[in-house]
Chains A and B, each alone.
Chain A
Amino acid sequence: DNVCSGELKFHYTVHTSLDVVEEKISGVGKALADQRELYLGLLYPTEDYKVYGYVTNSKVKFVIVVDSSNTSLRDNEIRSMFRKLHNSFTDVMCNPFYNPGDPIQSKAFDSIVSTMMVQAC
């Protein structure tokens, strides 16, 4: 139950953060992706966790949820995490057998994500 509720909670968090992401990326009047930074920063903090957002040029959104009690994570570290995510996501995309929209089954991608999460802890 805890796991399920935990996952649900994260799903809910991510969904709500999507609204914030949309708000941030639609706020740029120039409407040129190049002029908009990919890293969105802290989307909003709650009492339990902090949510960071990142959008790619193709409107693919990455959301990282971090425990608020983890104060050792700096902004730069989050940025590097997003960069790694973006890189590995690009590699997954490069695979012609991968159809965009499918759940990512790449082991390399999974390993990168796991390593990142372990490092962040």
Chain B
Amino acid sequence: MAAAQAGLPVRLESVAGELPLPVFVGITNELEMRYPNHPSTNESQPHILGSLTGSAPHPPADRPVLRHPDTSMDKQEAWSPPRSPGISPPCSPSAYRSYPYGAQRNGTDTLLAYDGKVPGRPSVPQENSSPSHYSLKLQSEQPVITRGASVERLVERAEIDYSDEPWRITEEQREYYTNQFRSLQPDLNALIMGTVAKNFFTKSKLPIPELSHIWELSDVDKDGALTFPEFCTAFHLIVARKNGYPLPETLPATLRPGFVEPGVVTVPPSEEMGSVDLQMTSRPGVTAKQDRREESRKPEFSPKRIPDPHEKPIQRVSTLKPDSPQELDANMKSRTRPRSYSSTSMDDAMKKVEEPPTPPPRPQKTHSRASSLDLNKLFQQSGQGSRPSQHSLSAKSGWLPPPPALPPRPPATQIFSFLPSSEKSSQKAVQQPNFADFSKFREEQESSVRGGLSTEDLVPPKSDSTLRHQGHAPQKPVRRKLHPESQSATPPSATPYSAATLTKSTQRPPPKQKREIQMAIRKNRETNAVLTRLNSELQQQLKVVHRERVTLESQLELLRPVAST
């Protein structure tokens, strides 16, 4: 959040620092007025659709032209008049948007909003496309415009838009949120655990009750974790709150995870309704709104939107089951999920890092696999079976049992192989067995190492770290990692071996293999560096998890006397 806060100022500066301030003031007031309208008008979806497509300028682009001459002051004035007629909702969003736009376009966009609704829309999309703006909800207006045919719809839309405008996420914002999400959880399809999100959002320095409320609004599936859309929603709400927008009572339709991504599974429309029953009862109301939206939208667009309302009831039904009370289970899941997800994310990150290195070698037959094969041959000839083990590791998603025995190096590789296999075998349970495996292997490794060559010194630390990495990492990345792991294992071993292999390679079709080996070495070194970093991160995570475990156990202890009485 601190970063976000820093980000905000940066972008605002690019726009024109002072313009926004007056705008925001206007907006806030508008927004507050809007909120009562908000629940009643849920046509945000159309807006969202528009926002999705929104980067493209809309037909009513001519409106902006009209607005051009207007200044920010005009915008504000325009706001007030709309307010009186009661069409004000559009104004606030426009004001909201206008400010970034105003900086650039002198509020043409906002003016558009004043005119109501249709004019404003087009300008917004254009504004949205301008990356320099940190504009919030620019896009929402545009879709509305394209829609509009009936005045009524426009009015509705305008109201919705206006009330939703501040609650639309623009493209720039979405990118920013994506980056922030990645910093917490590299896998965009995975979840951010509650505690992680809590720590992250606490940095925003908002009061805890407000953060709690924001969480309630954004965690629509009530699982104690945030999916990517939920995260965007929460982040957006926090940003809005920091900018002075009061928090809504219910989640604006534009911020609903299902809204932005039509067809997304997770979102029941009624975010705040925790209980299933409530959802059931509120469903009719919501579906009514959705139907309205659908009608308005149908003429205009999209197939996307129409299925959404249908999907939402279905999603609601599906969410009924997940909502079944199992606090412990939920907690456990949320706890375990982070482990697997976070480690997965790490692994995925690792994977990404590792992947680039590996492909190139392939064509040259220097892949880790191929090279390992060659190396296997090499080593076999040299009497060391290390390669085969690595090869087996890397070659298969299914894990082959490492070849027996090899002197000190091979044990390290074997350990790697064991690790990946164990990792692959289980998801959540992986962590525990891996720890055990690791310790086991480490001992083996160390014992074998002791008997090994002097070069083993290199291997144990590396293997340990890699082992740990693997132990923490779940499965899919593990496979990929196997390559790097095996490769990383090979570098340490490769260095001692390299001399031997080089000599041996001279005996073989040397130049090719030498090249292959060297490339493999290079790649392994790179992956090594990444893995060591990953290792340290995982170690930290481990510490955190241990701490949590200790606190949980102490809490359990506290509860036990109560239960026993």
Interface residue ranges, A against B (CB under 8 Å): 22, 26, 56-60, 80, 83-84, 86-98, 105-109, 111-112, 115
Contacts and interface: CB of A to CB of B under 8 A. Distances in A.
A83 B325 contact: yes
Given A58-B327, A107-B216, A111-B272, A94 B224 contact: yes
A96 to B, nearest CB: 3
Contacts of A80: 277
B216 A108 contact: yes
B198 interface: yes
A58 B328 contact: yes
Interface stretch (B205-213, B309-317, B392-400): B205-213
Interface in B532-564: 559, 562-563
A90 B277 contact: no
Given A91-B274, A95-B216, A96-B197, A107 B249 contact: yes
Contacts of A60: 327
A89 B273 CA distance: 11
Contact of A108 (B197, B224, B274, B323): B274
Given A91-B222, A115-B281, 8 more contacts: A58-B559, A84-B275, A87-B324, A90-B325, A95-B219, A108-B216, A109-B274, A115-B278
B194 interface: yes
Interface of A is mostly: helix
Contact of A59 (B211, B273, B559): B559
A94 B212 CA distance: 10
Contacts of A97: 198, 208-209, 211-212, 215
A19 B261 CA distance: 51
A86 B329 CA distance: 14
B8 interface: no
Interface of B is mostly: helix
Interface residues of B, number: 37
Interface string B301-341: 00000000000000000000001111110110010000000
A58 B556 CA distance: 10
Contacts of A92: 274
A22 B197 CA distance: 37
A94 B326 contact: no
Given A26-B565, A105-B209, A115-B278, A94 B328 contact: no
B272 A94 contact: no
A94 B325 contact: no
Contacts of B215: 95-97
Given A57-B328, A94-B219, A96-B195, A112 B212 contact: no
A25 B150 CA distance: 63
A90 B326 contact: yes
B276 interface: yes
Nearest to B226: A96
Contacts of A98: 212
13 contacts: A22-B565, A57-B326, A80-B277, A83-B325, A87-B324, A89-B325, A90-B274, A90-B323, A91-B274, A94-B330, A97-B209, A106-B213, A107-B216
A60 B331 CA distance: 15
A56 B325 contact: yes
B223 interface: yes
Interface in B272-294: 272-278, 281
Interface of B: 194-195, 197-198, 208-209, 211-213, 215-216, 219, 222-224, 249, 272-278, 281, 323-328, 330-331, 334, 559, 562-563, 565
Nearest to B560: A59
A106 B212 contact: yes
Contact of B323 (A59, A91, A93, A109): A91
A85 to B, nearest CB: 8
Contacts of B278: 84, 88, 111-112, 115
Contact of B275 (A26, A57, A58, A87): A87
Contacts of B212: 95, 97-98, 105-106
A78 to B, nearest CB: 14
Given A91-B222, A94-B194, A108 B272 contact: yes
A34 B219 CA distance: 28
Contacts of A84: 275-278
Among B249, B275, B277, B281, find the residue whose CB has the most chain A CB atoms closer than 10 A. B275
A57 B216 contact: no
A107 B212 CA distance: 10
Give the top 4 A-B pairs by smallest Cβ distance, nearest first: A91-B274, A96-B194, A94-B224, A96-B198
A61 to B, nearest CB: 11
B103 to A, nearest CB: 35
A43 B168 CA distance: 50
Given A22-B565, A96-B224, A112 B273 contact: yes
B198 A59 contact: no
A94 B208 contact: no
Contacts of B213: 106-107
Contacts of B562: 59
Nearest to B199: A96
B223 A88 contact: no
A29 to B, nearest CB: 13
A22 B564 CA distance: 10
B223 A94 contact: yes
Given A87-B274, A97-B208, A106 B216 contact: yes
